[in-house]
Amino acid sequence: MIKIIDLFAGIGGIRRGFEQASEGAVECVFTSEWDAFANKTYAANYPNETIFGDITAVDVNDIPDHDILLGGFPCQPFSQAGLKKGFDDTRGTLFFDIERILIAKQPKAFLLENVKRLRTHDNGRTLEIILKHVKEAGYKNVHVEVLKARDFGLPQNRERIFIVGFLDENVKFEFPSPTNIETRVGDILESDIDEKYTISDKLWAGHQRRKAENKLKGKGFGFGIVNKNSEYTNTISARYYKDGSEILVQQEGKNPRKLTPREAARLQGYPDTFIIPVSDNQAYKQFGNSVPVNTIEAVAREMLKGLENTKKGINNNLELQVVE
C-alpha cells in the first residue's frame, strides 16, 4: 500500500486522481485544508477521517511517514517575502510548508499543482526558486509541464502546471501523452434544469454590453457561451458563483444559463457519486478551485509506474548479486 498525504487538499481532487490511478492501492495518512466549507465536502466524501486545518500550524512531527506528498498549493508572490528576507527565502509563503515536510519526511516522490502562470510569474523567478529548493531538499529528479484538461477527456480548456519530483534519481518518468479522446460539452450537461440557473435579462444585457465594449478596446474579455455540441468550455474559476460569465450554456428561446453544481463537478472529472453537501455558491468555488481529476489520474499513473519499475529494477539487481 502506497501512503500519501494530501496538503491544501480542497475537496480531494488530487487524492482522487491517485486513488483512481492505483485502483485503491493508496492510503491517505494525513490531510490538511483550512477552509471550513471545503472540509465539509471533503468529510462528506471521506467520512471518519481527521482533517487538519492550517498547515502552517502543524508540527512536522505530527505528520506520518509517507511515500508521496500531494499539494495544490496557493502561490503568493515570492518577491514580497524577498523584500524582507532575501529573494531566495521561501519563509512567509505556503510553499515553505511543503519544503519543510519534504526535508523532514523525505517521501519517495511529490506532485505539486498550480496555475499555468506560475511558470512566468515574476519573470520565471518564482518557479526557479521552487525548483532550487526542492533540489536542495534532495529531489534532483524533477519534471515540470503544463497540461490541458481537454487532452485527457474533459471538455474544459483548463491549463495547469504540474511539478513532479522523485528522491531516487534512477526513477524514469515522463508526463502522460494526450489521450486524444474527443470531448463534447453535451456529455457533462444535465437534462432537467431548474429555472434558477437561467441568467436574468439584466445580467445578460450587462454581459453583452461589456463584451461589446471590450471588443471596441481590442480586448477579448467577455462571457463564453457553449452548447451541447461545443468541444470544450472556458476554464471554470472560483469566481463562477458571481455571474457564471466564463461558461454560459445556450438555451433555445431564452437567455443562456449557468452550469449546475453537478455539471461543474463533471467538468472537473468528479463522478456523480461525489457528494455535494454545500450551497451552490460554495460548490462553484470548490470546483473552480479544484483540479481536473482525469489529468491527475494520468500523471499519477506515470508516477506510480516509474516508482514500481525502479523498485523492480532494484530487486532484480539484488537477485543478480546473490546469484553471483
Q: Mean pLDDT for each 10-residue chunk of the chain (324 residues)?
A: 96 97 93 97 96 94 97 73 58 86 98 92 88 96 98 96 97 96 96 96 92 78 90 95 93 96 98 98 96 98 95 54 44
**Among 28, 55, 75, 188, the one annotated catalytic:** 75
Q: What pLDDT score does 324 carry? A: 46
Q: What is the pLDDT of residues 26-53, one digit of tens each?
A: 999 999 999 999 999 999 999 989 999 9
In this predicted model, what pLDDT tens digit does every residue of 63-109 receive, in sequence order? 999 999 999 988 666 655 555 555 566 766 889 999 999 999 999 99
Taking the C-alpha atoms of residue 235 and residue 5, their distance in angstroms, rounded to an integer, is 27
- Output the pTM of the full model: 0.91
Return d(Cα 214, Cα 210) in angstroms, integer: 6
10 Å Cβ neighbour count for 158? Answer: 22
Question: Parallel, antiparallel, or unpaired for β 109-115 and 159-166?
Answer: antiparallel
pLDDT score for 78: 63
CB 150 within 8 A of CB 124: no
Q: Is 75 annotated in the active site?
A: yes
| Residue the block writes with cell 489521450 | 179
Partnered with residue 3 across adjacent β-strands are 27
Domains of the chain: 2-181+293-323 (3.40.50.150), 185-288 (3.90.120.10)
Q: 119: which 3 cell numbers?
A: 511558470
Neighbouring-strand partners of residue 27:
3
End-to-end CA distance of the chain: 32
